[in-house]
Amino acid sequence: MKGMTLIVKKTTQLLAGLIFLYGIYVVIHGHLTPGGGFAGGVLIAGSFILLILANGSDFMKLTKEETGSTLYENLAILVAVFLALSGLLFGAKTFFLNWLPKGTLGEIVSAGMIPLYNIFIGIEVAASILSIFLALVIFKEETSE
Amino acid sequence: MNPLIPLFIVIPLAGAFLIMILGSFIRNLNKYLASLVLLFLVSVSFYFLFTTGSKISVYKVGGWEAINNVPIGIYMVLDGFTAIVLCIINLIGFLSVFYSISYISRYTAENNFYALFCLMIAGMNGVVLSGDMFNIFVFIEISAISSYALVAFGVEKNELEATFKYQVLGGLASFLILIGIAFLYWKAKTLNIADIKTVFSTGYDRNYYLLVEILLLSGFGLKAAIIPFHAWLPDAHSSAPSPISAMLSGVLIKAVGIYVIIRLFFNMFAISESMAILITTLGALSMVIGVFLAIGQWDLKRLLAYHSISQMGYVVLSVGIGMILISRGSRNELAALAIAGGVFHLINHAAFKGLLFLNAGAIEYAIGTRNLQEMGGLSKSMPATSATSLVASLSISGIPPFNGFFSKLIIIVAAIMAKFYFLALLAVIVSIITLASFMKFQRYAFFNKTDTGNKIKIREVPFPMLFSMIVLSIVCLLLSILVLPEIRELILTPATDILMDPSKYSSTITGI
Amino acid sequence: MIPYLLCFILFLTGLYGVITRRNLVKIAISLSIMEFSIFLLFALIGYVEGGVAPIVDPADPVKTYVDPLPQAMVLTAIVIGLATTAMLMAVIIRIYRKYGTFDIREIKNLRG
């Protein structure tokens, strides 16, 4: 796919890093402010999609990118499921138990397992939205040539 | 708190994503991993079927106990009725995966097929195990989105059009269910099924209650393909690959449609006579219209799909008769008989409709066409397929000693003893027309003189497909022993007890 | 009463779009409009008189909060809606490759 003009390329080079950092901020502060895994994951995916749209890419690079992002997506979900199953080993031995110490109200390292769930759900949502975008673009590329 | 209960959802979910990762490195791992996952689930569900009896197991996710007898966490509930439906889902799922070991090798991207299949099984297990309204919605969506992708698996023109129609109507059903849940939460301020019953038993606004009942009946009726919500079923079930047709028609419309209607209307809403008459009417209409639309079909899988609508009408009719009798408050043992007949027919239909669709897939694998007018004389070249399809056709038409006869007998006897003579007459007429339509299938496919010449060499299908078909036909024969008193006490009576007693379900869950 | 009526009018607008539009992409967009109206209904249901947003401030922990449970339900439902819309869009793109048109009156291969 062709890229866009020079102004768009320079602007996205400046902005993509800031959007990525803002997405990570929303994911990590998920237990203190609104947001969490889903919203932060969409923001992180947004920064990648912005770069791909602005600079253009060819078919080989896109397929390599897609295998990488589907691998990240599956690994992140498996880690989240194993974290949920780990509640069966500690404490009251129930599924999905919050077994880490809970800390004080308002700190970043507090509320037990919730920040860990947020981080892995954030990685998973970002990878899967990137995969959806790449799958549609690859389909358009390979059937129009 | 049995720790095996959340494994029904976690193991297929983890299995699906493991298949996606490892399937691209190791070559044949995806088929065997999927079969192993489902074999484990079948054994655990049969363990629960024989040990549950009449006790209700509750699993509180995250360990959140109830405060002042008000449930605040997510509950997973396993009782007699749930155990039966879990067995059906996992058994037919395992046989379909085993069948598709050789059937799907003709398509590309097999990894995605097995991963989506495991996700669909996880979603359906979650629907029957949840004790919470919004959890039911989330798991319905998981299984529905997987089934949209599976219907369109071999991307030809017919399959894409069928899945588009299926998706739009399925999306509309989900929105109706979501509006129903919103209205229910507004008045009851809680989402737990047992707790909603406790809140509504103190007093409610009659018109509001009727609105919520109609919204939920329409939403789940669209998922279960009752008349007048049946428009998506013939296209979707006939265009899908055959193991997916067997899963959709044999399990999906039961686990996310009929099961939830029965659970909500018996254990959550107080039964009123007008609602019961409406449900019985819908069941009778489905029975009659389904079979009349099915006779003129020449496409084999479309014929089987229309018969699904008709047999689901039998189940809804019998459950409706039970509801009418309970709402009049008169004959409790007769209502128990009607509900037992409905649940028994649910189990039987899963077995013989799954077998019929697997047979249709075997015929398509060997010849390459689904049109009845182009087949003929297959009984000599495909003996095992011919024998198992004869077993399935006799079962669905209600010939003794196969299982269809006993369940239809219980439904007709319950209708006659409750003095609904017109409904019993309709049931008998529909059964005769079903027999006629399946005799047409047998004659045109297997016993006619062949006129395809010798253009294609027709051989018997490979071993995995044969294994699934033979096991299902043995299950069809074995299920007729459920009518004997000792086995009925073990399996069917706990289910009808939970459904008949309106206060046992809610008091046991909120009291724990 | 006025906000609930506006939610209902939005739902009917989406339903009108699904029924009468001929282009496949417009049907998909109308389906999205229908589900956004239900999310608005959910968020309105949890309103408590005089409540503030349900975020606990460490300096002043006891106040009247709005009900946070419908907000959690809406978050889950938004993600489900995203998955449904993505699936629908993928199917629409493949239909365009096979049939050559977006018009729903041309796509009637299956009848009867």
DSSP B240: S
C22 vs A141, higher pLDDT: C22
Of C56, C75, C93, the CB nearest to A136: C93
| Residue in B closest to A74 by C-alpha | B17
CA distances from B70 to A94, B197, B203, B509, B511 (A): 20, 12, 18, 10, 9
pLDDT value, residue B116: 94
Residue C13 forms part of a structural domain? yes
pLDDT value, residue B52: 83
d(CA B414, CA B412): 5
d(CA A21, CA A24): 5
pLDDT value, residue B164: 92
Residue C67 forms part of a structural domain? yes
Q: Are B283 and B319 in contact (CB under 8 A)?
A: yes
Contact (CB<8Å) A38/C75:
yes
Identify the residue whose tokens are 């997973």: B76
Contacting residues of A for B13, CB less than 8 Å apart: 77, 81
Residue B1 forms part of a structural domain? no
Mutation pick from A64, A88, A94 vs chain B, by most beta carbons of B within 10 Å, is A94
Give the number of domains in chain B: 1
Residue C107 forms part of a structural domain? no
Helix axes A59-85, B7-22, angle to 10 degrees: 150
For chain B, 512 residues long, give each residue's pLDDT as a single digit of tens: 788 899 999 999 999 999 999 988 888 888 899 999 999 999 999 999 888 878 888 888 888 888 887 888 889 999 889 999 999 999 999 999 999 998 888 888 888 999 999 999 999 999 999 988 999 999 999 999 999 999 998 888 888 999 999 999 999 999 999 999 999 999 888 898 888 888 888 878 888 999 999 999 999 999 999 988 898 999 899 889 999 999 999 899 998 999 999 999 988 888 888 999 999 999 999 999 999 998 888 888 999 999 999 999 999 999 999 999 988 877 788 888 899 899 999 999 999 999 999 999 998 888 888 888 877 778 778 888 888 989 999 989 888 888 888 889 999 999 999 888 999 999 999 999 999 999 988 888 888 776 655 566 777 888 888 888 999 889 888 888 877 877 777 888 888 888 887 778 888 888 76
Contact (CB<8Å) A140/C93:
yes
Look up the domain containing B117 and give its range. Answer: 7-511
* Category of B419 on φ-ψ map: left (φ > 0), alpha (ψ -120 to 50) or beta: left
* Burial track B446-459 (b if 16+ CB lie within 10 A, e otherwise): bebeeeeeeeeebe
CA distances from A108 to A30, A103, A115, C55, C72 (A): 9, 9, 8, 15, 21
Give the number of domains in chain C: 1
Structure tokens at C53: 């947003």
CB pairs under 8 A between A and B: 44
Question: Under DSSP, is residue A30 helix (H, G, I), strand (E, B) or coil?
Answer: coil
DSSP B354: H
DSSP B457: -
DSSP B400: T
pLDDT value, residue B71: 86
C10 touches chain B (CB under 8 A): no
Q: Residues 77-116, chain A: which have Cβ within 8 Å of C?
A: 105-106
- Which amino acid is present at A13? Q
pLDDT value, residue B452: 58
Structure tokens at B295: 């006779």
Burial of residue C96, with CB atoms counted within 10 A of its CB: 0-12 exposed, 13-18 middle, 19 or more buried: middle
Contacting residues of C for A105, CB less than 8 Å apart: 56, 58, 61
B400 preceded by a cis bond (ω within 30 of 0) = no
Asked whether the CA dihedral B261, C75, B131, B77 is positive or negative, the reply is positive
* Category of A97 on φ-ψ map: left (φ > 0), alpha (ψ -120 to 50) or beta: beta
Identify the residue whose tokens are 């320079």: A10
Contact (CB<8Å) B171/C84:
yes
CA distances from B89 to A132, B126, B214, B400, C82 (A): 30, 11, 28, 26, 28
The model's confidence at residue A56, banded by pLDDT at 50, 70 and 90, is confident
Residue B2 forms part of a structural domain? no
- Neighbour count for residue B402 (Cβ, 10 Å): 23
Report the gap between the CA of C51 and the closest CA in chain B (Å): 17
| Residue in A closest to C80 by C-alpha | A38
Q: Residues 80-99, chain C: which have Cβ within 8 Å of B?
A: 80, 83-84, 87-88, 91-92, 94-95, 98-99
Residue C105 forms part of a structural domain? no
pLDDT value, residue C83: 93
Question: Under DSSP, is residue A130 helix (H, G, I), strand (E, B) or coil?
Answer: helix
Helix intervals (H) in C1-112: 2-20, 24-45, 69-99
Residue B157 forms part of a structural domain? yes
Of B1, B17, B60, the CB nearest to A74: B17
pLDDT value, residue C112: 60
DSSP B449: P
Beta partners for B57?
B78
For chain C, 112 residues long, give each residue's pLDDT as a single digit of tens: 898 999 999 999 999 999 999 999 999 999 999 999 999 999 999 888 888 888 887 777 778 888 889 999 999 999 999 999 999 999 999 998 888 888 888 888 777 6
pLDDT value, residue B198: 86
d(CA B70, CA B511): 9
- Neighbour count for residue B33 (Cβ, 10 Å): 20
The whole model's pTM is what?
Answer: 0.94
Residue B97 forms part of a structural domain? yes
d(CA B494, CA B330): 21
Identify the residue whose tokens are 């599924």: A95
Q: CATH number of the domain that C8 lies in?
A: 1.10.287.3510
Residue C16 forms part of a structural domain? yes
- Which amino acid is present at B203? G
Contacting residues of A for B59, CB less than 8 Å apart: 94-95
Contact (CB<8Å) C86/A143:
no
| Residue in A closest to B62 by C-alpha | A97
Of B160, B168, B186, the CB nearest to C98: B160
Question: Under DSSP, is residue B70 helix (H, G, I), strand (E, B) or coil?
Answer: strand
A81 touches chain B (CB under 8 A): yes
Q: Are A54 and A136 in contact (CB under 8 A)?
A: no
Structure tokens at B125: 């297990």
Helix intervals (H) in B189-272: 193-200, 206-224, 233-239, 242-247, 253, 259-267
Interface of B with C (CB under 8 A): 134, 138, 141, 145, 148-149, 152, 155-158, 160-164, 167-168, 171-172, 174-175, 178-179, 182, 185-186, 191, 235, 239, 297, 302
Instruction: List Cβ neighbours of A6 (8 Å cut-off, separation of 6 or more).
Output: none
Q: CB pairs under 8 A, 24+ apart, for B38-43?
A: B38/B12, B38/B90, B38/B93, B38/B94, B38/B97, B38/B118, B38/B121, B39/B94, B40/B11, B41/B8, B41/B11, B41/B12, B41/B90, B41/B93, B41/B94, B41/B121, B41/B125, B42/B87, B42/B90, B42/B91, B42/B94
Of C77, C87, C110, the CB nearest to B235: C110
Identify the CA nearest to C94 among candidates B257, B227, B153.
Answer: B153
Contact (CB<8Å) A85/B1:
no
Q: Residues 36-65, chain B: which have Cβ within 8 Å of A?
A: 59-63
Name subunits touching B (3+ CB pairs < 8 A).
A, C
- Average pLDDT over every residue of A16-39: 92
Residue C43 forms part of a structural domain? yes
Instruction: List Cβ neighbours of B205 (8 Å cut-off, separation of 6 or more).
Output: B187
**Helix, strand, coil share (%) of chain A residues, nearest 5:** 70, 0, 30
Contacting residues of A for C58, CB less than 8 Å apart: 105-106
- Which amino acid is present at B469? M
Asked whether the CA dihedral C77, C80, C85, C88 is positive or negative, the reply is negative
Residue pLDDT, tens place only, B139-191: 999 999 999 999 998 888 888 999 999 999 999 999 999 999 999 999 888 89
Residue B385 forms part of a structural domain? yes
Q: Which helix (H) or strand (E) holds B113?
A: helix B110-129
Of B3, B17, B24, the CB nearest to A88: B3
Of B145, B175, B191, the CB nearest to C87: B145
Report the gap between the CA of A98 and the closest CA in chain B (Å): 7
Contact (CB<8Å) B18/A78:
yes
Identify the CA nearest to B65 among candidates B504, B498, B509.
Answer: B509
Name subunits touching C (3+ CB pairs < 8 A).
A, B
Of A75, A92, A96, the CB nearest to B21: A75
C41 touches chain B (CB under 8 A): yes
Q: Are C68 and C99 in contact (CB under 8 A)?
A: no
Residue pLDDT, tens place only, B123-148: 999 999 998 899 999 999 999 999 99
Q: Interior CA angle at A64 toward A58 and A67, to 5°?
A: 140
Residue pLDDT, tens place only, C89-109: 999 999 988 888 888 888 887
Helix axes C69-99, A114-144, angle to 10 degrees: 10
d(CA B160, CA C105): 15
Instruction: List Cβ neighbours of A82 (8 Å cut-off, separation of 6 or more).
Output: B14
d(CA C99, CA C88): 16
Q: Interior CA angle at B329 toward B323 and B330, to 5°?
A: 105
Contact (CB<8Å) B18/A70:
no
d(CA C13, CA C4): 14
Q: How many residues does chain A have?
A: 145
Identify the residue whose tokens are 């409709």: B353
Contact (CB<8Å) B182/C34:
no
Residue pLDDT, tens place only, A86-124: 888 776 777 888 888 777 777 788 888 889 999 999 999
**Mean of the per-residue pLDDT values for chain A?**
88
State the DSSP string of B148-196.
Answer: HHHHT-S--HHHHHHHHHHHHHHHHHHHHHHHHHHHHHHHH---BHHHH
Beta partners for B70?
B67
Look up the domain containing C27 and give its range. Answer: 2-99
Structure tokens at B191: 């989402």
